[in-house]
Amino acid sequence: MKALSSYPIDGKFGKYGGRFVPEVLMAGVKELDDAYGQAKQDPTFCKELAYYLSEYAGRPTPLFYAENLTRKLDGAKIYLKREDLAHGGAHKINNTLGQALLAKRMGKKRVIAETGAGQHGVATAIACAALGLNAEVYMGTEDMKRQRLNVFRMKLLGAEVHPVESGSKTLKDSINEALRDWVTNLQTTYYLIGSVVGPHPYPTIVRDFQSVIGRELKEQIIQKEKRLPDALVACVGGGSNAIGTFYPFEDCPEVKFFGVEAAGEGIESNKHAASLGAGAEGVFHGMLTYVLQDNEGQIQNTHSISAGLDYPGVGPEHSFLKTLQRAVYVTATDEEAANAFQILSKEEGIIPALEPSHALAFAMKLARKMKRQEIIVVTLSGRGDKDVEVVADFLGVKI
């Protein structure tokens, strides 16, 4: 078998991935594949991206040793990769800057995107404002209600927000609507997808742009500890911050990977978003991957306290890593995430987003079982300001 980092091969991670899209879009994904293939070889493009990542997005983000939390748990050392400190408050900007530069290079002035919690929509609006592109964001009306603040932020940033009324009115439906827009406006429009999902080459493009997380942390941990970490822990919805964290370590077998999915109210309650944990192989949003579906192949609705993990599919590379047992996928419930959210706030003075609170919840259990000289790195994919209202509500606190 080839080195893991050399995948995808022909657009596939093993059998996962591929291009299951309407015929109209085949020309679009091919055009994108060609343009990206050229861009990543072009020193000017790479230099421009590096410039925006450092001067505009504030990279590199710190790798912070969470000493208080480590002391409290009395187990492995816990480091936090602080993506919450990137511009916009999440890792999403790594990808949107990369793809917006690609859109510009391809001569597409109109950029469309989908958003669930609004973080990717905001990051798209930011990148488009910075690069002089027009952003239009599809968002389910259910999510618009839950994340009013982000809707207004997108508008402030100059983006147009299209409410999506179809289906469950959440993330999966806004992807459906963005795909329908792309089918209609293929020639003029760039579809800026927000996670490592969709038809090839999107899972690869988004992974490559997010890999800056893992590359930086590799350098930082070697500098601080003179060795690689024992475990990497990241949350998985579509899975972009997790793949960005794991990818530069895929061929370092001594580094264990843990992806944490949302168990919502518990797997047995059927109100969760654990595609890898409780789903089955299926074809959805252009890719063959693990999908939450019923016996007839209809896609199921999901539930999570964190809108960013509320998605019934998962990036095909995660399905591949699961099948190979290179990564272990576990879950954390709404309640566990809300607890971790409070613990990190109190112990370290860092309010994490609810998405990485799932990763933290698992990392805290893991640390207790590991030795003191061992090292865990948790990717703190975003900050929690957006979630304060949701957590207060969950705890029954009026603010």
Partner 1 sequence: MSDIEKVFQKLKAQGDGALIGYVTGGDPEPRFTPVIAEALVKGGVDILEVGIPFSDPIADGPTIQAASVRALEAGTVPKMVLGMAGEIKRECGVPVVILTYFNPVFRMGLENFFRLASNCGVDGVVVPDLPVEEADDYCKAAGACGVYTIFLAAPSTSMERLRKIVGCTSGFLYLVSHFGVTGARESLEDSTVQLIKRVLPYTAGQVPLAVGFGVSKPEHVKCIIQSGADGVIVGSAFVKIVNRHQENASRMLEEIEKAACELKEASKRLG
Catalytic residues: 92, 114, 381
**Distance, CA of 232 to CA of 256 (rounded, Å):** 6
Hunting for tokens 């089955």 — which residue is that?
Answer: 280
User: Shortest gap between Cβ of 300 and partner 1 (angstroms)?
Assistant: 8
User: Shortest gap between Cβ of 186 and partner 1 (angstroms)?
Assistant: 6
Neighbours of 97 (CB within 10 A): 27
The C-alpha angle with vertex 243 and arms to 105 and 59, in degrees rounded to 5, equals 60
User: Shortest gap between Cβ of 20 and partner 1 (angstroms)?
Assistant: 5
For the chain, helix, strand, coil in percent to 5 are 50, 20, 30
Distance of CA 108 to the CA centre of its chain: 24
Binding site for partner 1 (CB under 8 A): 18-28, 166-167, 172-173, 176, 179-180, 183-187, 280-286, 288, 291, 293, 295-299
> Phi, psi (5° rounding) for residue 197?
-125, 180
Instruction: Spell out where the chain has E strands.
Output: 12-13, 16-17, 63-65, 77-82, 110-115, 134-140, 160-164, 189-191, 231-235, 256-264, 280-284, 287-291, 327-333, 375-380
> Phi, psi (5° rounding) for residue 219?
-65, -45
Task: Decide: 204 and 29 in contact? Cβ < 8 Å.
Answer: no
| CB-nearer residue toward partner 1: 45 or 320 | 320
Collect all residues with Cβ–Cβ distance below 8 Å to 301 and sequence separation of at least 6.
168, 170, 312
| CB-nearer residue toward partner 1: 20 or 65 | 20
User: Shortest gap between Cβ of 390 and partner 1 (angstroms)?
Assistant: 26
User: Shortest gap between Cβ of 212 and partner 1 (angstroms)?
Assistant: 31
